Amino acid sequence: MSTVTANRKPVHLAVYDTFADWETGHTTAYLARAGYEIRTVGPTRAPVTSIGGLRVEPDLALDDVEPQESALLILPGADLWDAGDDLAPFARRARAFLDAGTPVAAICGATAGLAREGLLDDRDHTSAVSFYLAATAYKGAERYVDTDAVTDGNLVTAGPTEPVAFAREVFRLLGVYDGEVLDAWYRLHHDSDAEAFAVLQQAAR
């Protein structure tokens, strides 16, 4: 099922106070199953607490993460994205990743953070709803796509109700699953399609 190579770089998952722990669970779980190391990245190494009350001690501080040492930066939503500039450094680091050709995947409020940073001005993207991003006064409204998740180059975006579609786009981008296997994974987890499970079982053999 997996087409990734053995010598892969780790995936970095951003964590910060009020991060939405449910939005990236499918993504990180199946990346880990595919052999990726998942490393958490906080503003510092100090513990943070998710919306769901999970206390996480980050593996790394944001300043210690370099794009060339990463396979992907994942930015989950958080109340803090809309409560000030505390998370702006994560959006700036996302710019550095994209400039270096390293993928970034943002969901929910993180898409607004990228919009404020100007990273959605020239890329197709999506979010919760178009007027949510319009409130950031960004210049990319014409590139907004009203769908579950969007990939443009090395950037994946999704709205808060689409964690499975978000994962699908990440898997496609990194080459973890493709073709009918990727479609079956999505149908199983999004639509509870029992027939899709048989496709995944066959691929696993």
Show which residues are catalytic: 108
Round to whole Å and give the CA distance between 128 and 132. Answer: 7
Using DSSP's 3-state secondary structure scheme, residue 128 falls into coil
Round to whole Å and give the CA distance between 32 and 11. Answer: 9
Round to whole Å and give the CA distance between 41 and 73. Answer: 9
Strands 72-75 and 38-42, bridge-based pairing = unpaired
Q: Which two tokens stand for residue 141?
A: 């409204």
A 10 A CB-CB count for 198 gives: 12
Strands 149-152 and 155-158, bridge-based pairing = antiparallel
